[in-house]
Amino acid sequence: MHPSGANATTGADHAVVIGASLAGLTIAQALRPRFAAVTVLDRDRLPDQAVPRPGVPQDRHVHLLLASGAIWFEQLFPGLLEELIADGAAVGDPSRIRLCLNGHRLARGPAGDTAVFASRPFIEHHVRRRIRADPGIAVEDGCTVRGLTTSDDGRRIVGVRTTSTSVGGVTGGSAGGDGGTSADEQHLPADLVVDASGRRSSSPAWLETLGYAPPPIDELPVDLRYLTRQYRIPDEVLGGDRNLLIGPTPDLPLGGALSKIEGDRWITTLFAMGGRRPPRDPDRFEAFAAELAASDIHDALVAGEPLDEPARYRFPANQRRRYDRCRLPHGFLAAGDAVCSFNPIYGQGMSVAAHQAVALRSLLADGMAPTPEAWFAAIQPMLDLAWELTCSGDLAVHAIEGRRDLMTRVRNGYLARLHAAASRDPALTDRFLRVAGLVDPPSTLLRPSALGRVLTHRLRSVPA
Ligand SMILES: Cc1cc2nc3c(=O)[nH]c(=O)nc-3n(C[C@H](O)[C@H](O)[C@H](O)COP(=O)(O)OP(=O)(O)OC[C@H]3O[C@@H](n4cnc5c(N)ncnc54)[C@H](O)[C@@H]3O)c2cc1C
């Protein structure tokens, strides 16, 4: 029996979410008002504390929650931001962020929109705590989904097949659409199944075994390597600043971030793209920071004290599963990284996931669960926007291989000029941050007021 008292074994008015990470938890929250019972399944044993876990291997690395994401999380979980801040998360006011982009040190933006800086386990822990407190949502951990089940005519998903993780292994996942059954396999019926199982989702394989063509995949390889470490750094070293972001330049595919997070700690991620490799030797960590386009992160690290060994992560490619171009069974949706995972240096994944949950909540307002077509059409504009920002940003780096059409070259040329102009113009920094934070559309950077400022700066810098 579901904790809500609803009978989840019949599947009537029951929604199942695969994956209890940030996409799964926010989607569960959006489903809650419409379904009598919502069950979130995760193969991991979920901790009661804000600690890393194996099913989310990226959770040791810097996770920035964009200004837009902060707004969407707050819409889903009123009061969450206050809780995060009260427990030690930092709010990244643009006037306290040091930004070096395209090799230009940007003038500080005016105080305003806020991004949230905290460790990834900390953010997930707070959201999970909210979900667990809701009797209408059951979170079943240690439960691996092995496949989807359909109605007799194959046109509707009516549930999932699961095994307890002790049988399949914590990180084993499902051999996509595994035909076999194991002794402890269970069938969990559902009116609606939402896949939020992340980038390595097995849904394409599961759907294929049910006779549905897997979604085509858009991909831009970036061969990104992350290297992350936590530090203790005296506050005065950064002069009161709490966040430093140093981006790659067209010729230098390296960058990094340093943020103050809960527990009076600093987390720094250094990265290399397009075939460059960060060093393996922990003793070379700080020396690697000195290779970035600005020395600020390096200077702060050498004044601090490392608290752990560097953690690594490899992100091969931006990846978008084009479910919007597929025939799909009713009763199936997908969200979060299972649909699209973006180069993490732009910090979009959690915010886009929360945006999808907000979108789902409004689609459910009329009482009907959306068809797959309606769902993937509804989330497409935001995916298009985030995908375009990411891919064109990546293609500004020469080491990234990919087609640079005229639009991409013009956009990147303009952005380089805008960053140069923003080195003297806080209003431009502000505009840029609003676009990068998914608050405003990129078209705002082309408004006459912005174009005029970029052009004036350009004319002033041309030697007489
Ligand atoms: C290195 C790195 C850094 C990042 N930095 C940022 C950042 O700064 N800002 C930002 O917004 N985003 C960032 N992201 C993206 C962010 O981590 C994700 O977008 C976010 O976690 C949402 O992902 P998700 O919930 O869709 O999937 P995931 O977080 O990958 O979670 C998938 C969940 O599904 C579970 N699962 C998988 N298979 C099964 C199964 N068969 N049965 C049951 N459970 C299953 C897993 O255990 C896991 O809990 C970063 C990503 C990476 C890789």
Residue 337 Cα: closest atom of ligand 1: 26
Residues 207 and 140 in one domain: yes
CA distance 278 to 272: 6
Mutating to test ligand 1, I would choose from 17, 22, 41, 58 the residue with most ligand atoms within 8 A of its C-beta, which is: 58
Residues 144 and 70 in one domain: no
Is there a domain that residue 457 lies in?
no
Given 338, 356, 378, the domain boundary residue is 378
Residues 172 and 51 in one domain: yes
Given 336, 360, 378, the domain boundary residue is 378
Please give the distance, rounded to the nearest whole angstrom, from the Cα atom of residue 125 to the centre of ligand 1.
14
Given 268, 297, 316, the domain boundary residue is 316
Please give the distance, rounded to the nearest whole angstrom, from the Cα atom of residue 198 to the centre of ligand 1.
5
* Structure letter (DSSP) for residue 282: G
Residues 304 and 162 in one domain: no
Is there a domain that residue 454 lies in?
no
Residue 55 Cα: closest atom of ligand 1: 47
CA distance 376 to 404: 27
Mutating to test ligand 1, I would choose from 41, 42, 73 the residue with most ligand atoms within 8 A of its C-beta, which is: 42
Reduced to 3 states, what is the DSSP secondary structure of residue 265? strand
Is there a domain that residue 67 lies in?
yes
Please give the distance, rounded to the nearest whole angstrom, from the Cα atom of residue 71 to the centre of ligand 1.
20
Residues 284 and 246 in one domain: yes
Domain count, the chain: 2
Please give the distance, rounded to the nearest whole angstrom, from the Cα atom of residue 251 to the centre of ligand 1.
30
What is the CATH classification number for the domain harbouring 304? 3.30.9.30
Is there a domain that residue 267 lies in?
yes
Nearest CA to 270 out of 211, 345, 322 is that of 345
Please give the distance, rounded to the nearest whole angstrom, from the Cα atom of residue 22 to the centre of ligand 1.
7
Residue nearest to atom 27 of ligand 1 (CA): 198
Residue 23 Cα: closest atom of ligand 1: 25
What letter represents residue 279's amino acid? P
Count, in order, helices (H) and strands (E) of the chain. 13, 20
**How is 326-339 classified by DSSP, letter by letter?**
S---BTEEE-GGGT
Residue 257 Cα: closest atom of ligand 1: 8
Please give the distance, rounded to the nearest whole angstrom, from the Cα atom of residue 458 to the centre of ligand 1.
41
Nearest CA to 22 out of 50, 67, 56 is that of 56
Is there a domain that residue 306 lies in?
yes
Please give the distance, rounded to the nearest whole angstrom, from the Cα atom of residue 426 to the centre of ligand 1.
34
Residue 124 Cα: closest atom of ligand 1: 21
Residue nearest to atom 28 of ligand 1 (CA): 198
Predicted pLDDT of residue 126 = 98
Predicted pLDDT of residue 176 = 33
Residues 211 and 187 in one domain: yes
Please give the distance, rounded to the nearest whole angstrom, from the Cα atom of residue 248 to the centre of ligand 1.
24
Write out residues with Cβ below 6 Å of ligand 1.
18-24, 41-44, 55-56, 58, 61-65, 144-145, 173-174, 196-199, 202, 226, 313, 315, 336-338, 344, 347-351, 353
Residue 353 Cα: closest atom of ligand 1: 22
Please give the distance, rounded to the nearest whole angstrom, from the Cα atom of residue 457 to the centre of ligand 1.
41
Please give the distance, rounded to the nearest whole angstrom, from the Cα atom of residue 197 to the centre of ligand 1.
8
Is there a domain that residue 439 lies in?
no
Q: Return contacts of 298-302, CB within 8 angstroms, 24+ apart.
A: 299/237, 300/231, 300/233, 300/237, 300/238, 300/244, 300/258, 300/266, 301/231, 301/233, 301/258, 301/268
Residues 342 and 297 in one domain: no
Is there a domain that residue 462 lies in?
no
CA distance 189 to 19: 16
> Longest C-alpha distance within the chain, in Å?
81
Structural domain including 185 reads 14-55+127-216+322-378
Mutating to test ligand 1, I would choose from 16, 43, 140 the residue with most ligand atoms within 8 A of its C-beta, which is: 43
Residues 131 and 233 in one domain: no
Angle between the 67-76 and 22-31 helix axes, to the nearest 10 degrees?
A: 40
Residues 247 and 354 in one domain: no
Residue 197 Cα: closest atom of ligand 1: 34
What is the CATH classification number for the domain harbouring 353? 3.50.50.60
pLDDT < 70: residue spans in the chain: 1-12, 111-113, 167-183, 462-464
CA distance 202 to 222: 23
Nearest CA to 21 out of 115, 124, 97, 109 is that of 124
Residues 296 and 164 in one domain: no
* Structure letter (DSSP) for residue 252: B
Q: Could you tell me if 238 and 250 are in contact, meaning their C-beta atoms sit under 8 angstroms apart?
A: no
Instruction: Name the pTM for this structure.
Output: 0.94
Mutating to test ligand 1, I would choose from 337, 345, 348, 355 the residue with most ligand atoms within 8 A of its C-beta, which is: 337
Residues 131 and 272 in one domain: no
Is there a domain that residue 424 lies in?
no
Residues 150 and 177 in one domain: yes
Please give the distance, rounded to the nearest whole angstrom, from the Cα atom of residue 5 to the centre of ligand 1.
30
